[in-house]
Amino acid sequence: MSLGEEQIKRIHEKLQQLLKQHAAIQKENQQLKADLENAQKQVSQYQGTAESLKQQVSILQLGNGEMSENDKKEFEKKLNTYIKEIDRCIAMLSE
């Protein structure tokens, strides 16, 4: 084999190796994207659960009379926000 043919053969082998690495990296990238999406969904679910638990704690504290004045005001603001949202939804349904 001539020197030129050997160089072409080595370049071809290296190109094949790079193509295999590229395919493996693309596959890994897709897997990482799927993992990230799943993790983001989990975080969203956990945040919803945490918010729900915070609301339950606030309600229990209010029921037991353990809330400070600031906590009561904050709880009242949340209730007013919920009531406004419910009123807005009712108004939209009435249209």
φ, ψ of residue 2 in degrees (nearest 5): -80, 165
Question: Can you give the residue ranges of every domain in the chain?
Answer: 1-64, 68-95
Residue 9: per-residue pLDDT: 92
Give pLDDT tens digits for 12-59.
999 999 999 999 999 999 999 999 999 999 999 999 999 889 888 877
Model pTM?
Answer: 0.55
The answer to whether 72 and 62 are in contact (CB under 8 A) is yes
Cα gap 16→8, rounded to integer Å: 12
